[in-house]
Amino acid sequence: MRIREVGPRDGFQNEPEVLPTATKVDLIERLACAGLTRIELTSFVRPDVIPQLADAAAVLEAVRLPASVTASVLIPNERGLESALEHRSKFQEINGFLSASESHNQRNVGRSVAESLAGLGRTFARARAESLRVEAVISTAFGCPYEGRVEPRRVLQIAEQLAELGAQEIGFGDTTGMANPLQVAAFFEEAARALPGVELTAHFHNTRGQGLANVLAALQSGVSSFESSFGELGGCPVPRGATGNIASEDLVSMLHEMGIHTGIDLGRLLDAARAAQQALGRPLRSHLLSAGPVDWQRPPSG
């Protein structure tokens, strides 16, 4: 089971507060100490657009991670990659992204899907030349808030082009929490046939409470790579009232209860989520932060 923790990027960028660099570094190091071996640290985006990540370089230079952790950064474009490469020794993977729907891609990055693919091709070639592993993330892969249903064949056509451009891993994002388990199962069965040799990663949001149900559906379709965010941080500005990504601690708890090994210390992961909650000064939405882990040793009451 492979879990990439995306809270330090996807989570922090969606917060109204700008967390101090030292706080971010502390939280990232707590996640690493919990046994998470894949962590998305930050993104090299325009600071005037996403001021929450304006300290990307400072975070990379300050954080200390064990050799067991694979660090990644989200790269919006070629300029972002060049900025990241100034700190090349601090990460091993890049994540490039685009949307499956034209409307969402235009609103998110101001480009058509074709323009994004062309830019990603150049970015991936440069990254591969630097011996970086490349992931491509397709947002709105299961539904778009502006266009509604996104046909699986369209998503897979984009994924096939990304694989041809050099993506070794492709993440499929349920960006606004529109997916359902039957849809997820059918999609990943088809994706496995269409993309042999490519690592398939599922990225679910819990907007409508179906995140973990979708994880189970993906698992049963053979997916073993997931992205999640501690404390259920993250989200998307649409739809109204959207919550964040599935919580890493909820995901790990479910997997452990199912007998699936993750190598993650759930207690330490919860401690990291509590530290994030304290840093933000508000309750976070993960179920385990509220209820705690399952305790099979406690005698039944009554």
**Strands, E assignment, 133-217:** 133-139, 169-174, 199-204
**Counts of helices then strands in the chain (DSSP H, E):** 11, 8
Mean pLDDT of 108-133: 97
pTM of the predicted protein model: 0.96
- Residue 297: inside a domain: no
Mean pLDDT of 69-76: 97
- Residue 202: inside a domain: yes
- Residue 302: inside a domain: no
Total tally of structural domains belonging to the chain: 1
* Positions marked active-site: 236
- Domain holding 235, by residue range, is 2-291
**Interior CA angle at 277 toward 91 and 141, to 5°?**
55
Closest by Cα among 268, 270, 208 to 236: 208
**Would you say residue 230 has pLDDT above 90?**
yes
Mean pLDDT of 148-167: 97
User: Which residues are 138's β-sheet partners?
Assistant: 98, 172
Mean pLDDT of 4-18: 95
The widest CA-to-CA distance across the chain, in whole angstroms, is: 65
pLDDT in tens, 199-225: 999 999 999 999 999 999 999 999 999
- Residue 264: inside a domain: yes
Alpha carbon distance 72, 9 (integer Å):
10
Q: What's the CATH code of the domain at 56?
A: 3.20.20.70
Query: What percent of the chain shows pLDDT beyond 70?
Result: 97
Instruction: Write down the pLDDT at residue 298.
Output: 75
Question: What 8-state DSSP symbol labels residue 144?
Answer: B
Alpha carbon distance 86, 147 (integer Å):
39
Per-residue burial over 12-36, b if 16 or more Cβ lie within 10 Å, else e, is bbbbeeebebebbbbbbbbbbbbbb
Instruction: Write down the pLDDT at residue 299.
Output: 73
